Amino acid sequence: MQLIMEKIRVRFAPSPTGTLHIGGARTALFNWLFARSQQGTFVLRLEDTDLGRSTSESAQGIVDGLQWLGLDWDEGPDIGGPYGPYRQSERLNIYQEYLQRLLNAGHAYYCFCTADELRRQRESAQDDRDAYRYDGACRHLSADEVANRLAQGQKPTVRFKMPQQGTTVVQDLVRGKVEFQNELFDDFIIAKSDGWPTYNFAVVVDDHSMKISHVIRAEEHLPNTPKQLLIYEALGLTPPQFAHVSMILAPDRSKLSKRHGATSVQEFREQGYLAKALVNYLALLGWSPGDDLSLMDIGEMVRRFDLDHVSKSAAIYDIEKMAWMNGHYLAELSSEEVFSMIESDARTRGWLTNDNHDCFIKIIDLLRSRVRVIQDLLPSAEYFFTAPEHYDEKGVEKYFCKPGCIEKLAAVKSLMDIQPFTAGQIEDVIRSRAEIMKLKAADLIHPTRLALSGRTNTPGLFEIMELLGPEACSARLDQAEAYIKALI
């Protein structure tokens, strides 16, 4: 027997009240992967019914972030689609239509209690043993009474009439069967007094009218799901399938927030992380391909993605592993690609000029395996452009303060007329000189490195010397000699 499956349609529905967090990015990624792996449709919907907090800048930031990650959508606010509009703020008439249906059928009612009254009730219930629930004061208002208050210009909210008994079962694709007692819920508000729907009502209307087949979203929405299910039922609609993915937590196991460092996609981007790395890392946070594979391009993820391997437990995000992955993807870029990513910064620093492009590429090749994020590359390249202003303290102690150091530096300096001045040549000459002096090559190399770069750890010394050129090398060796003499 073959089941006729409806076309898979999923959505990512952020509220544009902030940046695209990595948690949201991962939810978007899972939806996207699911859609792409099932030949389904991925829709982007903006949940901007909170008029006070939603901003267009935030919406733009989210859109930019998704695009940067490479998560493209088939329908959305910018490109439209058959089930639009895709911005909740443009769907008021649709919500009102469904709201009216609920009102007419007696599944919802007007509530004239003010926000103030409600807040007071909630506060005084704080010390009680049980949870606060709306007392249903307006549930039984007569039709006349309602008409009267409406005529007076009072602006009511609309509440959903919660069944007082029975249980609602959420059949979750990652969590299995989850049951809720209806009596524990109160008559929650589905439309605010300004006429706009609240989240629990708007999602139902939107997911249904956009023909969403699978709702893949964060676990924090699981307790909302029974309310939504009851709305579907009251409306006589078939609900979509649900899959609640676990949360991403900060290293201290608390909910991710600004104090945990970079948490938004934008910040990672600015810090020099690669989209490929972020996508790969996020995919593995809460999902596993089933075998030992961990580095995957997005195509591989699409091929392997399935909801069965989405984990139920919360994941703590580990910046170390993220950085390692970034280093891996950084290594895969061509030098020119790395170059283009740091080009403007390099010009600003005055290091990149119109005629040192090739030299710059060589510097990138020397440094790239030594940094994990692109933004660290330039700061570690300073000595290629300016003579050291100070020398590493431990290095000074270890090399400069040792007897014979001046002689060693002088010996290297005497070699600066090497022809051609290439890494290979320089290495040959310095090594043989060390032999003549009955020294290990390292005895010449270490003080020279410190003299030229001010540091004890750098890429290969001979490559650095080639790029610096004989004049700069000589000058820096002189500078170091003067420094050492001043020490004594």
- Taking contact as CB under 7 A, which single stretch among the options 71-79, 263-271, 382-390, 441-449 is the one that binds RNA? 441-449
Q: Which stretch binds RNA (CB under 7 A): 35-43, 57-65, 249-257, 410-418?
A: 249-257
Residue window 271-290: x/- pattern of binding to RNA, with contact defined by CB under 7 A? -------------xxx-x-x
If one counts every other C-beta atom within 10 angstroms of the C-beta of residue 275, the result is 18
Q: Which is nearer to RNA, 137 or 314 (CB)?
A: 314
Tokens 């509220």 appear where? 15
**Interaction with RNA in 176-235: which residues (CB under 7 A)?**
176, 178-181, 184, 188-189, 192-194, 196, 198-200, 202, 219-224
Active-site option among 7, 255, 258, 312: 258
Residue 107 binds RNA (CB under 7 A)? no
Q: Which of 7, 258, 312, 357 binds RNA (CB under 7 A)?
A: 312
Residue 94 as a binder of RNA (CB under 7 A): the answer is no
* 7 in catalytic set: no
**In the numeric block, which tokens belong to residue 3?**
């089941």
What CA–CA distance (Å, rounded) separates 342 from 339?
5
Q: What is the widest separation between alpha-carbon atoms in the chain?
A: 110
Is 432 a binding residue for RNA by CB under 7 A? The answer is no
**Nearest distance, CB of residue 275 and RNA, angstroms:** 19
R_g (Cα) of the chain, nearest Å: 32
Of the pair 89, 266, the CB lying nearest RNA is at 89
Question: What DSSP letter does each residue of 226-288 carry, written as one string?
Answer: HHHHHHHHHHT----EEEEEPPEE-TTSSBP-GGGS--BHHHHHHTT--HHHHHHHHHTSSB-
Contact between 450 and 399 (Cβ < 8 Å): yes
Instruction: Say how far apart CA 417 and CA 435 lie, in whole Å.
Output: 19
Task: Please say which residue, 128 or 355, places its beta carbon nearer to RNA.
Answer: 128
Question: Going by C-beta distance under 8 Å and a sequence separation of 6 or more, which residues neighbour residue 265?
Answer: 19, 20, 21, 22, 25, 65, 68, 69, 278
| Identified binder of RNA from the candidate list 118, 235, 387, 439, rule CB under 7 A | 118
Indicate whether 442 belongs to the interface with RNA (CB under 7 A).
yes
Q: Residue 242 or residue 351: which is nearer to RNA going by CB?
A: 242
For RNA, the closer CB: 32 or 188: 188
Looking at residues 252 to 271 of the shown chain, list those that interact with RNA (rule: CB under 7 A).
253-255
- Quick one: DSSP state of residue 310? B
- Active site residue ranges: 258
